[in-house]
Amino acid sequence: MSTEILPTLDQGSRSLPSHDIEHPLSQSLPSARQVIESAHHTNVKDWETETFSLAPSTAPSSSPPSSSRPPSIFRRSDFRTSSISIFHVSSFSLSFPSLLSPFGLLHLYVFALFLFSNIGVSIAAQATNSQCDRIVTLTPAATELFWSLGFSEKLVGVSEHSDYPLEAKNKPNVGGYQKPNLEKILSLKPTLVVTPNEGAGQIQDQIKKLGLQTLTLSMRTFEEIPQEAERIIKFCKISATEEAPPNKNIKTPDAPSVQTPSYLISTWRSKINAFNSMKPNKEHFTFLIEVQAQPLMVAGSNTFLDQLFSNCGGKNLAPQKDYKILTLEKAYTLSPDFVFRVGMPSDQNIWVKHPNKKIKALTLDPDIYARPSPRLIDKLGGLCKELSL
């Protein structure tokens, strides 16, 4: 099953600093045009400006060289565009002896100074803008959250139980968060791998050994879901007030046609606050939450599942907080009014043999109830009534 109670953050984001390099002689150095004209006594008129970056491209050349035009050092067809500009002289070329002359060497120095003063800027820009270009999520809840925020096209791999929205099932499967397929993840060339809080240390160590950046989400309670959404927006440097492109959001029935991340986060918080305010002053039933049948694992306090049923007026009988293994004998002695089963549907119903036949074991859809996701937040308003609690 895919319970993900999550976080801490390994920001891991590294970008090179941008430097505007100024040489102490820059005020007195002649321009590149002046250097070449002085060295060759030539009036150079045919100048072009071409742009390039460090990322190779396979795009066809838009202007193939002619016999009268020497090939440029960097063609637009060889590089994607960026802010770096270099000069291209199409009417002549420097001979090797000329390059060794004082003016020729000065020309090369000026060119190299100009070129490398901009390379750091280009690398830094790419590192800043590309860290969320190719994302792999290791939990279904993370998949839903990123999809809601408009990252559907950036998701290049998802966990094995990521089935919402339906389009997520078409994404490459990288296995479960407990045993992710590291070879598959590496083949997808992700710029970011989103890990769960449970077992995050071990998983992160494995991912980092591959040289990949990780982001760990913490969604133990409902309140942490909008908090993590805000952290994703900041980490990925996207606009919170700009509408996500069409078909990138998971639209909710009561939402307007325009859904910005800011609107979604505000809506989630409002629904969570309204649900918390519904909690009655007096508890009127007891419960356990089964997240796994064999061995039996139950959800205690400090979990969104406990919050889910406690707000409906229940008292959680789990003896410990978080998610813990509980012996069947101990569980039987607790004798709760309800057992909410949110594990895998194939798990055996161990409660049918309980001597107290009054215990109601309710099997709930784990795709909805076992995930701290925006979809579950949307159900909070009518949840208690739906479950007749």
- Please report, rounded to a whole number, the percentage of residues in the chain having pLDDT higher than 90: 44
- What gap in Å lies between CA 291 and CA 341, rounded to an integer? 6
* Confidence (pLDDT) at 310: 96
- What gap in Å lies between CA 109 and CA 117, rounded to an integer? 12
pLDDT at 102 over 70: no
* Confidence (pLDDT) at 66: 42
Specify whether the CB–CB gap between 174 and 181 falls below 8 A: yes
What token pair was written down for 218?
């913490």
Q: Which helix (H) or strand (E) holds 216?
A: strand 214-216
Q: Which of 342, 328, 332, 333 is nearest to 299 (CA)?
A: 342
The reply to whether 164 and 108 lie within a common domain is no
CATH number at residue 308: 3.40.50.1980
Domain that holds residue 149: 135-275
Taking all residues of the chain, what is their mean pLDDT, rounded to a whole number?
74
* Confidence (pLDDT) at 332: 86
Q: Which is more confident, 148 or 243?
A: 148
- Report which listed range, 25-34, 96-105, 353-362, is most confident: 353-362
- What gap in Å lies between CA 105 and CA 264, rounded to an integer? 59
For 172-223, the pLDDT digits (tens) are 999 988 889 999 999 999 999 999 887 666 778 888 888 999 999 999 999 9
Overall domain count for the chain: 3
For 124-183, the pLDDT digits (tens) are 333 344 789 999 999 999 999 999 999 999 999 999 999 999 999 999 999 988 889 999
Name the domain boundary from 227, 259, 275.
Answer: 275
Give a yes or no: residue 6 inside a domain: no
Q: Which is more confident, 308 or 111?
A: 308
Give a yes or no: residue 21 inside a domain: no
Name the domain boundary from 275, 303, 323.
Answer: 275
The reply to whether 113 and 166 lie within a common domain is no
Give the strand pairing for 285-292 and 297-299.
antiparallel
pLDDT at 52 over 50: no
Q: Return contacts of 266-274, CB within 8 angstroms, 24+ apart.
A: 268/225, 268/226, 268/229, 268/374, 268/377, 269/226, 271/377, 271/378, 271/380, 271/381, 272/222, 272/223, 272/225, 272/226, 272/377, 272/380, 274/380, 274/381
* Confidence (pLDDT) at 204: 81
Instruction: Please measure the distance between the N-terminal and C-terminal CA atoms of the chain and give it in whole angstroms.
Output: 25
- What gap in Å lies between CA 186 and CA 208, rounded to an integer? 11
- Categorize the per-residue pLDDT at 22 as very low, low, confident or very high, splitting at 50, 70 and 90: very low
pLDDT at 59 over 70: no
- Categorize the per-residue pLDDT at 60 as very low, low, confident or very high, splitting at 50, 70 and 90: very low
- Categorize the per-residue pLDDT at 239 as very low, low, confident or very high, splitting at 50, 70 and 90: confident
pLDDT at 350 over 50: yes
* Confidence (pLDDT) at 301: 94
* Confidence (pLDDT) at 219: 92
DSSP designation for 62: S
- What gap in Å lies between CA 136 and CA 53, rounded to an integer? 26
- Categorize the per-residue pLDDT at 80 as very low, low, confident or very high, splitting at 50, 70 and 90: very low
- What gap in Å lies between CA 286 and CA 340, rounded to an integer? 11
For 289-326, the pLDDT digits (tens) are 999 998 999 999 999 999 999 999 999 999 999 999 99
- Neighbour count for residue 72 (Cβ, 10 Å): 19
* Confidence (pLDDT) at 249: 59
pLDDT at 258 over 90: no
The reply to whether 255 and 292 lie within a common domain is no
Tell me phi and psi for residue 144, to 5 degrees. -65, -40
Name the domain boundary from 240, 275, 310.
Answer: 275
- What gap in Å lies between CA 150 and CA 248, rounded to an integer? 5
The reply to whether 62 and 122 lie within a common domain is yes
The reply to whether 124 and 50 lie within a common domain is yes
CA atoms within 13 A on the CB side of 137: 28
The reply to whether 143 and 246 lie within a common domain is yes
Longest Cα separation, the chain: 105
The reply to whether 270 and 284 lie within a common domain is no
Tell me phi and psi for residue 157, to 5 degrees. -160, 145
- For 281-296, b/e burial (b = at least 16 CB within 10 A) is eeeeeebbbbbbbeeb
Q: Which of 162, 225, 214 is nearest to 185 (CA)?
A: 214
